[in-house]
Amino acid sequence: MKLIKILSLAFVLVSVSSYSQDYVLEELTVATIDENYYVTVPVTPIEEYYYIDISHLSFESEEQANNYINAFLYANITRPVLNYEERYVVLQIMLEFIGDDRDPANLQTYLNRLSKPNKY
């Protein structure tokens, strides 16, 4: 039994360490989010990661923030990663799923369809 626990712990540690950030936070392109969770990306070539400040949004808890952010931003080609303590989200665009269509206007249209007025 002890061996199983040790192997399980080792597996978890390897899994966590293999998930590393592929970005430097200070170098990310800035996108914005409004109180209705509409994200706006700049009209520049599509980046893989965007920094989004969420300090202006009101959440009762980290769980609520995580639920809202995932409900409005998690989709086929987008993966939000919340940092609740520092009040930001890194939005990853899954470039492998958009292929050669790197038009920022198309990404913005996609994001507009994801976001919806706050109904929680």
Assigned domain for 79 exists: yes
Distance CA 83, CA 105 (A): 27
pLDDT in tens, 53-68: 999 999 999 999 999 9
Does residue 48 sit within a domain? yes
| Unique residue bearing structure tokens 């969420």 | 54
pLDDT digits (tens, 9 = 90+) for 91-108: 999 999 988 878 899 999
Distance CA 13, CA 120 (A): 35
Tally the domains of the chain.
1
Quick one: pLDDT at residue 117?
Answer: 56
Tell me which residue range forms the domain holding 90: 21-114
Q: Which residues pair with 80 in a beta bridge?
A: 91
CA pair distance 111, 119, nearest whole angstrom: 17
Residue 93 lies in a domain: yes
Domain-embedded: residue 120: no
Does 96 map to a domain?
Answer: yes
Using an 8 Å Cβ cutoff, are 32 and 39 in contact? yes
pLDDT higher than threshold 90 for residue 6: no
pLDDT tens string 24-81: 999 999 999 999 899 999 999 999 999 999 999 999 999 999 999 999 999 999 999 9
Is 65 among the domain residues?
Answer: yes
Which residues does residue 39 pair with via DSSP β-bridges, in sequence order?
33
What per-residue string of b and e applies to 59-91 under the rule 16 or more CB within 10 Å gives b?
Answer: beeeeebeebbebbbeeeebebebebeeebbbb
Kindly state whether residue 8 falls inside one of the protein's structural domains. no
